[in-house]
Amino acid sequence: MSLESQFFLLMKFVIPLYLLAFIIYAIRAFKGPAIVDIILAVDCMSFDIAAFMAILAVYFKSAFLISAAITLALWAYLLDIYIAKHLVSKEVGA
């Protein structure tokens, strides 16, 4: 069994799990009763997309996908810090 066939076999299980997680996060983002639930759902969606992009980058041997995945993950982390600071102190100054 070659490495590519093993990868495709693994992706048959991983892609539906990512899609299911993305749907659950999207429902939580739209129906979230509190702002914290919405923030957590958007955060999980962005990190899942970044992880999936990293998996695809390894498969396609693309440096552009991995750099986009890293950028997305860093952007999501900075967004978390920004929103947490705003929720705690109601200001976002330097």
pLDDT at position 28: 92
Which pLDDT tens digit goes with each residue over 15-66? Answer: 899 889 999 999 999 998 888 888 889 999 999 999 989 888 888 888 899 9
Instruction: Assess whether pLDDT exceeds 80 at residue 90.
Output: no
pLDDT at position 93: 61
pTM over 0.85: no
pLDDT at position 75: 93
The residue extents of the domains of the chain are: 3-89
> Which of left, alpha, beta for 61 (phi over 0: left; psi -120 to 50: alpha)?
left
User: CA gyration radius for the chain?
Assistant: 16
Which pLDDT tens digit goes with each residue over 8-21? Answer: 888 888 889 988 99
Q: What are phi and psi of 2, to 5 degrees?
A: -80, 170
